[in-house]
Amino acid sequence: MRYLAIGDIHGYADVLKRLLEAIPLRPDDQVITLGDYVDRGPDSRGVIEFLLKLRECGQLVALRGNHDFMMLEARGRSDMLKEWIFCGGNWTLASYGDLFADGKFDLIPDEHWKFLEEFCVDWYEIDTHFFVHANVDPDLPLEEQPLYLLHWEPLFETRPHCSGKVMVCGHTKQRSGLPRNLGHAVCLDTWVYGDGWLTCLDVKTGQLWQASRRGELSTGWLAEPEEGEEEFA
């Protein structure tokens, strides 16, 4: 079985489809998406629809990112609605219809709300790795992690987790377009909505596949651990 982790998608459904077509998937593959399905890209609706189909095949584990969390919060809070729109929620609403409509949230299918609220999880682990959207407290077990860290905390210099497992995360964009490898942590947010790529990593072998919104495809291998610059997503 391959464990294929995919970084922040941010509304680029066409790039996600192209990426998975380039791999391609095997029946026993498990795809682990690291969150931030919505905002900043043109087709958040298409991303969720595609992931729902992948989930029906039993191959998807979907994590919840801070942008997904903001979308859920914005549904019932006017203050959060303004913050969400400022952070790219206008792109998401536009993918469902009229973002200025009074009942704009009614345009979003119930199954899409259910995906974000119920189907997505805040963390996931296998025997050698664990997966979160943003970061963790290295001294706390996964089940005790504060949600704020899991959704929002940037990847600054961090110590290995007490479990001894490698953390695979997104959230902290890598303007280089390449994953950041700290040895005990790997960040896969490679800035698809900017000038970067959407990245998929086979966490057991280190093989990489990448697709850009410019239509490019690339393959390679995870670099040896090295220091790099980090930036809040």
Q: What is the pLDDT at residue 231?
A: 43
Averaged over successive runs of 10 residues, the pLDDT of the chain (233 residues) comes to 98 98 95 98 98 96 98 91 93 87 84 98 98 98 98 92 98 97 97 97 98 97 74 43
Say what the pLDDT of residue 161 is: 98
Residues 6+ apart with CB under 8 A from 80: 70, 73, 74
Report pTM.
0.95
d(CA 53, CA 138): 34
3-state secondary structure 189-230: CCCCCCCCCEEEEECCCCEEEEECCCCCEEEEECCCCCCCCC
pLDDT at 78: 85
**Can you give the pLDDT at residue 146?**
98
Q: What is the CATH number of domain 3-221?
A: 3.60.21.10
Active-site residue list: 67
Q: How far apart are CA 124 and CA 32, in angstroms?
A: 9
Where do the structural domains in the chain lie, given as residue ranges? 3-221
